[in-house]
Homo-oligomer: A and B are copies of this chain.
Amino acid sequence: MTRIAVLGLGLIGGSLLRRLAATHDDGHDANGYDVEGYDVIGYDVDAATRRLARASGLPVRDAAAVAVRHAEVVMLAVPMAEFAGAVEQVAPLLSSSVVLTDVGSVKRPAYDVIRRLGRPERFVGGHPMAGTEHSGFAASSADLFTGAAWVLCLEPDTDVDRWVRLARLITGLGCRVVPATSADHDAAVARISHLPHLLAAALAIGAAEAGPLALALAAGSFRDATRVAATRPELTAAICAANRGEVEPALAELIERLQASRDHRSLLEAGRAARLLWQPGDTAVVRRKLRIDSSGLADRLLALGRAGGWVEAATGVDLSLAGPPGI
């Protein structure tokens, strides 16, 4: 039984607690995944959230210190603005063998905090690519992560043994674990997540300014293009601010691309080709094994991630890799 503490029970942390709690009895989850048994405990700084989680039958403690005591894995699922405070609070309470991870949307600032306040060899930064426009425990779901990509960072000061242990836990939840440096992660998510949020807001404003007729005509393309504009603005603003070094150049490139587009034909053609590159389907996926005692394991994993690949399962001996041809 791996002892796990989840701190912060919003959309992500609440979903994690639900998912892990659903597995802790018999080592199999509701989807039949063969996972380790977990002894999981949750905590949230907000008493109402704790009550809500308890009312859902989840194991919740009233103090972070109690939740993390004896934990082998501590998952920090707090808003970005509260991350440093949470690390400061719990770092002194953790065992020297703990795996500390997080679920934040921007990874370099998390490592900055950890290198300042924590012991970086205990930390593996994480990011499940599984948000929605909703937030809070009420929106949480044990299924949120099924099939999702989940970045686990590999940095020069990462303890690869801890990384593998965490990869085993996360793949056991039905996720694809994608290895990446914090810098590569932040550059990628600026373009596939943070920009879409900013554009959704700008599009929604333009439609509303055009008036009630425009809103009455808005259909599928508007619905989808602006869905994430309903996200709590302070969350997205904090993410964009934390990732300003990538978001601003990505936005500038996008604006330049739009301004350089004359008749839009070539933009639309390139856009279609790019969109069709995404998720070409399982037939194009190749698979291989990688022993965890391989030399240069971290570099091999980072090369896998850069090639678009992921870890889909892990044992104490090897990792099952998958991805596009060439991984």
Asked if A189 is at the interface (CB within 8 A of a chain B CB), the reply is yes
Indicate if the CB atoms of A219 and B129 lie closer than 8 Å: yes
Indicate if the CB atoms of B212 and A257 lie closer than 8 Å: no
Within 8 Å by CB of A213, from B130, B188, B207, lies B188
Q: How many chain-A residues does the 8 Å CB contact rule pick out?
A: 94
Complex: how many Å from CA A184 to CA B197?
28
- Could you tell me the distance in whole angstroms from the C-beta of A147 to the nearest C-beta in chain B? 10
Indicate if the CB atoms of A192 and B214 lie closer than 8 Å: yes
Which A residues between 282 and 323 are near B, CB-CB below 8 angstroms? 305-310, 323
Indicate if the CB atoms of A306 and B211 lie closer than 8 Å: yes
Which A residues between 180 and 201 are near B, CB-CB below 8 angstroms? 180, 184-185, 187-189, 191-193, 195-201
When all copies of this chain in the complex are counted, the total is 2
Complex: how many Å from CA A132 to CA B191?
24
Indicate if the CB atoms of B306 and A212 lie closer than 8 Å: yes
Asked if A274 is at the interface (CB within 8 A of a chain B CB), the reply is yes
Which B residues are in CB contact (< 8 Å) with A189? 214, 217
Asked if A52 is at the interface (CB within 8 A of a chain B CB), the reply is no
Asked if A259 is at the interface (CB within 8 A of a chain B CB), the reply is yes
Which B residues are in CB contact (< 8 Å) with A267? 198, 201-202, 205
- Could you tell me the distance in whole angstroms from the C-beta of A5 to the nearest C-beta in chain B? 26
Which residue of B has the minimal Cβ distance to A188? B214
Indicate if the CB atoms of B220 and A132 lie closer than 8 Å: yes
Asked if A222 is at the interface (CB within 8 A of a chain B CB), the reply is yes
Indicate if the CB atoms of B268 and A198 lie closer than 8 Å: yes
Indicate if the CB atoms of B307 and A274 lie closer than 8 Å: no
Determine, out of A22-30, A59-67, A236-244, the stretch whose residues face the partner at the interface. A236-244
Given the interface contacts A200-B225, A206-B250, A220-B131, does A306 sit within 8 Å of B274 by beta carbon?
no
Asked if A245 is at the interface (CB within 8 A of a chain B CB), the reply is no
Asked if A216 is at the interface (CB within 8 A of a chain B CB), the reply is yes
Indicate if the CB atoms of B255 and A258 lie closer than 8 Å: yes
- Could you tell me the distance in whole angstroms from the C-beta of A249 to the nearest C-beta in chain B? 11
Beyond contacts A188-B214, A201-B275, A205-B274: 6 other A-B pairs, Cβ-Cβ < 8 A, are A192-B214, A192-B215, A201-B267, A201-B274, A204-B278, A224-B227
